[in-house]
Structure formats: C-alpha cells, structure tokens
Amino acid sequence: MCWKAGLADHDNYHEFCRLLGRFRVNYQLSELVNVEGYSDWIRLVAEFTLKSLQSWQWASNSVYYLLGMWSRLVSSVPYLKGDAPSLLDEFVPKITESFITSRFNSVQAGLPDNLSENPLDNAELLQEQLDCFPYLCRFQYESSSLFIINIMEPVLQIYTERARLHVPENSNLTD
C-alpha cells in the first residue's frame, strides 16, 4: 500500500505517529465525522495503530501518540452531535485488546537479542501509555473488562498453582 511509503524508516514512522497524536488536538470529533472520507481515514488509522501495537519491539516509543489520539477521540464521543457515525465503537475495542495482548506478548517473548532494552523496563514510557489506556477501556467498559478477565484468569491460575508448589506443606503462613 502506498500509505506505508517511508514508514519503514523509524524516524519517519515516529513523526507520523506524533502527527496523528496532534491531529485530534486541532479538530473536533464532530467536525471529523462529517468530512468526506472520514470512514476510510479512521479505518486506515485503526489498521496502522493495530500494526504498530503488534510491532511492540519496534514501535514502543511511538505508541503513546497513537493511544493519546484514540483516548482523546473517545473522550469526545459524549459531545458528538448529529447522525454521522464515529465508527469508534468498531475500532477502539480492537485497539484496546491489541494493546493488552501486545504487552503480554512482550513479556512472553522475553528480551530479543537485537533490543538494547526491554520496553517494559521503561517506567516513564509505560506510564505515558497507561495514562491514555483508561479512556479506551471505559469507552466500552464491559467488553474491555471481560477481555482483561479472560486474559488474566489463566495467568493467575498458573501463578496460583506454582505458588502452591513452592510453599512447604508444614509452613504456617499466619506467623
């Protein structure tokens, strides 16, 4: 696709993410949904965001701008007037799920040899990303919470089973 042209260069990619992050600052959602081509634009931005989230090794420093854009868009939904659909209800749950999945994938993958540092070790970067995340989850709270529960239950079950294996039978944990 021609929209990928130049985005293989990390600096171009990062600046494009920054541009998208600032886009919502300049335009109101009610203005955007009424523009011809909005549905194509929002679909392409959603696809770009999903691919970025899946490429967590490469895109971790840029994801903040994308999450910020989506969080500002969903924050504007209550003020949306008119009949034009925002299409956010279609794309935001996928983005929320992809963000969660990408963080789990990064933990399971460990630290690849070609990365000098693990993106999950950067507390400041994680905090910036997580500052945007509650808005996305609250947008469709029920589906977001069910997804989080479904992804966490097996992890918690494994943790509980392994914790039981490491506790001596005759130990008294109440002491």
In this predicted model, what pLDDT tens digit does every residue of 16-44 receive, in sequence order? 999 998 876 677 888 889 999 999 999 99
Mean pLDDT lowest for which of 60-69, 114-123, 131-140?
114-123
Greatest Cα pair distance in the chain:
70
pLDDT tens per residue across span 38-82: 999 999 999 999 999 888 677 777 888 999 999 999 999 988 888
- Find the range with the poorest average confidence among 8-12, 41-45, 82-86, 147-151: 8-12
What is the spatial distance between Cα 54 and Cα 41, in angstroms, rounded to a whole number?
Answer: 20
Nearest by Cα to 130 from 3, 122, 50:
122
What residue spans define the domains of the chain?
2-140
Residues near 39 by beta carbon (within 8 Å), at least 6 away in sequence: 85, 87
Q: What distance in Å separates the CA atoms of residue 119 and residue 56, rounded to the nearest whole number? A: 8
